[in-house]
Structure 1
Amino acid sequence: MATIGLDRLYYSKITEDSNGEETYAVPSVLAKAITAELSVELVEAILYADDGAAEVVKDFNSGTLTLGVDDIGPTVAADLTGASTDDNGVLISASENVGTPVAVGFRAQKANGTYRYFWLYRAKFGLPATNLQTKADSITFSTPTIEGTVMRRNKLDGMGKHPWKAEVTEGDAGVSAGTITGWFTEVYEPVYTPEP
């Protein structure tokens, strides 16, 4: 079903242990969401045998997340891009700044009034793009966009895999109310029941 809205844009800072496994901080509001565009790049391998394709493997390689937001404040800019605020409260971006990966969560409203929820487990952002325009006969809003590369996380899930995205639709079979109400209180961790 098509989506008709986008809101509740959050991010969570990541700390890594000596093995590179992620621990997520309590999520914070990133900004008011205007747009979110996620494109995915796959790695593909084809094995040919008996004059035809015998095996095809397509695996997630990376993704690009482009966010259009109302504003990126200095704290969020520092967390996402590595910029710093000087003693006078001025945000300073330097060529040496390197942002650290964060998890990004948001939700999209569906036409039936329910929501689809997302967490992207590891995204590294570049500097926000700014478009400015003078006022003329009418007012045009100029808002920043920020683009990040989405990667799989280092931490294994209960199935021994490296997830890159969690997605759930409110009201689907097997989805508990607690999963939905707690979605933005912490980054969602996959839950699997061990097989006997």
Structure 2
Amino acid sequence: MATIGLDKLYYAPITEDAVTEEETYDTPVQLAKAISAELSVELAEATLYADDGASEVVKEFKNGTLSLGVDDIGTATAAALTGVSVDNNNVVISASEDGGNPVAIGFRAKKSNGKYKYYWLYRVKFGVPATNLATKGDSITFSTPTIEGTVLRRNKADASGKHPWKAEVTEGDADVPASVISDWYTQVYEPNFVE
């Protein structure tokens, strides 16, 4: 079913264990008002040829690119996502050595039936936001920032031994417990494979 909206854009800082490098997620915080989210995925692909034809094909997640259009990136959010510094006068200072820590990104997209599809991207490393500015002309044109990040799999394996990079669920699906939807932004969703 088609989506017709995007909102509730959150991020959750990640703390990594110094020895195991496994992630734990802090409480999600609203990032900004969402304008757009574009996710593209790159796959590692290999084909084994035998008996003059393709015998086996393997396609695995390599990484992705997330491009977010937002209404504004505040100073605290800029510091959390990109590693910039905020000085004593609350001025954002960008340095060539900046590099933010990865964060989890959550959002939801409204479907045409009024229900939502919810997402968590488990590990996103952002770069410096793009700034688009234009002079004021005869009509009003909004200029908003775009921030792009690389989506990675997380270090922490789930109970099935895999390293997830995304979780998504559709509100209203018969087998989805209501608590999964109601708790979506209270913490980053952890896969549940326990029987």
TM-score interval w.r.t. the shorter chain? over 0.9
Query: Is 1:84 matched with 2:85?
Result: yes
CA–CA distance in structure 1, aligned partners of residues 12 and 21 of structure 2: 16
What secondary structure is seen at the aligned counterpart in 2 of 1:77? Answer: helix
The answer on 1:126 being equivalent to 2:148 is no
* d(CA) in 2 for partners of 1:178, 1:88: 42
* Alignment partner, residue 7 of structure 1: 7
Distance 2:59 2:133 in 1: 41
Deviations, residues 61-118 of structure 1 (Å, cap 9, x unaligned): 0000000000000000000000011011101010111110000000000000000000
CA–CA distance in structure 1, aligned partners of residues 129 and 157 of structure 2: 31
- Aligned 1:40-79 pairs, distance under 5 A: 40-79=41-80
Q: Where do residues 3-42 of structure 1 align in structure 2 (5 Å cutoff)? A: 3-17=3-17, 18-42=19-43
Following TM superposition, by how much is the alpha carbon of 1:30 offset from its aligned partner in structure 2, in angstroms? 0.4
1:114-156: per-residue Cα shift (whole Å, max 9, x none)? 0000000000000000011111111000000000000000001
Look up the match of 1:160.
Answer: 161
Quick check: 1:95 aligned with 2:102?
no
The structural deviation recorded for 1:173 is 2.5
Aligned length: 194
Measure, in 2, the Cα distance between the counterparts of 1:123 and 1:111.
Answer: 28
User: Offset of 1:172 from its aligned partner?
Assistant: 1.1
Give the secondary-structure state (helix, strand or coil) at the position aligned to 2:180.
helix
Aligned residue in 2 for 1:105: 106
Structure 1 partner of 2:149: 148
List structure 1 runs of 4+ shifted beyond 2 angstroms: none
Q: What is the TM-score normalised by the length of structure 2?
A: 0.98
The offset of 1:192, in angstroms, is: 0.8
* TM-score, scaled to structure 1: 0.98
3-state SS in 2 of match to 1:80:
helix
Q: How far off its partner does 1:193 sit?
A: 2.4
- The farther-off stretch of 33-42 and 168-177 is 168-177
The residue type paired with residue 140 of structure 2 is I
CA deviation digits over 1:17-45, x for unaligned, max 9? 02100000000000000000000000001
CA RMSD of aligned residues (A): 0.6
- 1:167-178 equivalent positions in 2, closer than 5 A: 167-178=168-179
Aligned residue for 1:97, secondary structure, equals coil
Distance 1:171 1:46 in 2: 39
- Unaligned ranges ≥5, structure 1: none
Number of the residue aligned with 1:180: 181
Partner of 2:192 in structure 1?
Answer: 191
